[in-house]
Amino acid sequence: MSTRECDVAVIGTGTAGMGAYRAAKVHTDKVLLIEGGVYGTTCARIGCMPSKLLIAAANAAHAAQDAKGFGVHVHGIGVDGAEVMQRVQRERDRFVGFVVDAVNSWPEADRIRGHAAFESPGVLRLDDGTRVEAKRIVIATGSRTFIPPPLAALAAERVDTNATVFEWPDLPESVAVFGAGVIALELGQALHRLGVRVRLFGRSQRIGGITDPEVAEQAREALGSELPLALSSAVDTVVDEGEGFAVRWRDADGNAHEERFARVLAATGRIPNIDGLGLEHVGLPLNAQGLPDHDPATGRCGDSAIFLAGDVTGELPLLHEAADEGRIAGDNAGRYPDVQTQRRRAPLAVVFCEPQIAAVGQNFQALCQSGQAFAVGQVDLSGQGRARVMRENVGVLRVYAAHDTGRLLGAEMVGPRAEHLAHLLAWSVQAGLTIDEMLAMPFYHPVVEEGLRTALRDCAHALHRGPKPVAGCSEYGPGD
């Protein structure tokens, strides 16, 4: 057994941990990076990149099958599941390799392998007995899939998650997907488009994280026309029958159903990786999630020398947010006690299903609960010119602006090219642009962005009419 001393210890080498390490190293050379698992971020190994590889294959198959809508008839379309998965894994490994190479390029003396646990606020014990004495500690241990009760009764190795899907040697005949969030929609639709029989189970009518009821309705209609959805369902049992699983559930009307699937996939939210971390020894009160509360603008927990960053916080489990949180926490851990508040970027989230879903800035629910007077502008994308040319004319875009200033506050949307529209909107929110200032920007023709101009014009009219109740806000009472 040995003792290591450092100014900053970073637990976890994912996106947040890597960002924290780099930021802390600006202030001190005595930074120790601790990893109990494999190198390679969630994004590269089991998240963003492999999922987009699977989606790309799925969209290629769908485009071929849907080409007849343009008068183009493609014959002999086939999906080789093994080849699809081989490409996913090959390209995934390439992305992971870049991350591993980056970590391995850092000084070996700065890296240590092992699972860490707190003995006291400034002391960690690794599972090999190594003692780490750190003046400041950044917790960046990430998160994992939450397994709900019906699936928790099964053997752990029989339940697939995003951590196992991309290891499949071939595509299964059928999959029951549990959840209606980002991962569920992306993987569920991708598998469906690749010829896998899929049904997606959700406990409510919420889908893709959308809070605006009009956008959510359009999303349910658009996605449900292609992908079998069992929303507002109550799953009674999931029985492992060896060769597959029998899922028994009741729909929103109480009608009983049963269907058999080759695999079950849990995409039911994330929980922080804090098991065995010994947070009860950090000397801080813990919240319902078992974590000390922290300031997102500094990463700091209370008045301690402990910082949180990345998915472990459970707030915004997105790569760019984890990178920012790691940078902020690492910088403040490195410069401690000169902790500085740092500005966060405008919120931006995208679901890469088709049609795409996106949310920017303050969402509809947050604005309703804030009590702030805001106006809504929208465009129905079913008649949008470029979208119709591409046969992607489905969805709605809703933008929100403050009545007192006219500034853009946020937006929610489902529709074509939402990932690009969302970036324009996020930049506008962060820049503090008003609706009139956005309308003064150039819009080319014919592009989907012209739909954004229509929504902005509608919002400008609503602003000029003055404050009035916003339809749909009543379902979100203040503070709900």
User: Are 277 and 137 in the same domain?
Assistant: yes
User: Are 121 and 19 in the same domain?
Assistant: yes
234-288: pLDDT as tens digits: 999 999 999 999 999 999 999 999 999 999 999 999 999 999 999 999 999 999 9
Query: Measured between alpha carbons, how far is 103 from 105 in angstroms, rounded to an integer?
Result: 5
User: Are 130 and 203 in the same domain?
Assistant: no
**Is position 436 within any domain?**
yes
User: Are 279 and 263 in the same domain?
Assistant: no
- For the chain, the helix, strand and coil percentages under 3-state DSSP, each to the nearest 5: 35, 25, 40
**Is position 403 within any domain?**
yes
**Is position 64 within any domain?**
no
State residue 316's pLDDT score: 86
State the CATH number of the domain containing residue 352: 3.30.390.30
Q: Which of 348, 376, 377 is nearest to 361 (CA)?
A: 348
**Is position 74 within any domain?**
no
- The answer to whether 190 and 54 have CB atoms below 8 angstroms apart is yes
User: Are 418 and 366 in the same domain?
Assistant: yes
Greatest distance between any 2 Cα atoms in the chain = 72
State the CATH number of the domain containing residue 95: 3.50.50.60
CA atoms within 13 A on the CB side of 225: 9
Query: Measured between alpha carbons, how far is 420 from 448 in angstroms, rounded to an integer?
Result: 10
Q: What is the DSSP string of 271-338?
A: EE--TTS-GGGSSS-B-TTSSB---TTT-B-TTSSEEE-GGGGSS---HHHHHHHHHHHHHHHHHTTS
Query: Measured between alpha carbons, how far is 326 from 292 in angstroms, rounded to an integer?
Result: 17
User: Are 161 and 250 in the same domain?
Assistant: yes
Indicate the angle between helix axes 48-66 and 182-193, nearest 10 degrees: 40
337-368: pLDDT as tens digits: 999 999 999 999 999 999 999 999 999 999 99
Question: Where is the domain boundary, 230, 250, 268?
Answer: 268
Question: Where is the domain boundary, 285, 309, 335?
Answer: 335
User: Can you give the residue range of the structural domain that contains 134?
Assistant: 3-54+83-144+271-335
User: Are 37 and 140 in the same domain?
Assistant: yes
For 316-344, give one letter per residue: b (16+ CB within 10 A) or e. bbbbebbbbbbbbbbbbbbbbeebeebee
User: Are 382 and 435 in the same domain?
Assistant: yes
**Is position 131 within any domain?**
yes
State residue 105's pLDDT score: 96
Indicate the angle between helix axes 48-66 and 81-104, nearest 10 degrees: 150
**Is position 31 within any domain?**
yes
Query: Measured between alpha carbons, how far is 147 from 6 in angstroms, rounded to an integer?
Result: 37
Question: Where is the domain boundary, 335, 364, 389?
Answer: 335
User: Are 89 and 136 in the same domain?
Assistant: yes
**Is position 76 within any domain?**
no
State residue 479's pLDDT score: 58
- The answer to whether 159 and 196 have CB atoms below 8 angstroms apart is no
Query: Measured between alpha carbons, how far is 282 from 187 in angstroms, rounded to an integer?
Result: 38
**Is position 444 within any domain?**
yes
User: Are 424 and 411 in the same domain?
Assistant: yes
Regions of the chain where pLDDT drops below 70: 479-480
- The answer to whether 34 and 132 have CB atoms below 8 angstroms apart is yes
Q: What is the DSSP string of 206-232?
A: --TT---HHHHHHHHHHHHTTS-EETT
Q: What is the DSSP string of 399-467?
A: EEEETTT-BEEEEEEEETTHHHHHHHHHHHHHHT-BHHHHHTS---TT-THHHHHHHHHHHHHHHHH--
The pTM assigned to this predicted structure is 0.95
Phi, psi dihedrals of residue 105, rounded to the nearest 5°: -80, -15
Residue type, 107: P
Q: What is the mean pLDDT of the chain?
A: 96
Burial of 21 from C-beta contacts in 10 A (0-12 / 13-18 / 19+): buried
User: Are 181 and 241 in the same domain?
Assistant: yes
185-209: pLDDT as tens digits: 999 999 999 999 999 999 999 999 9
Q: What's the total number of domains in the chain?
A: 3
Length of the chain: 480
User: Are 117 and 188 in the same domain?
Assistant: no
Residues in a beta bridge with 125? 117, 131
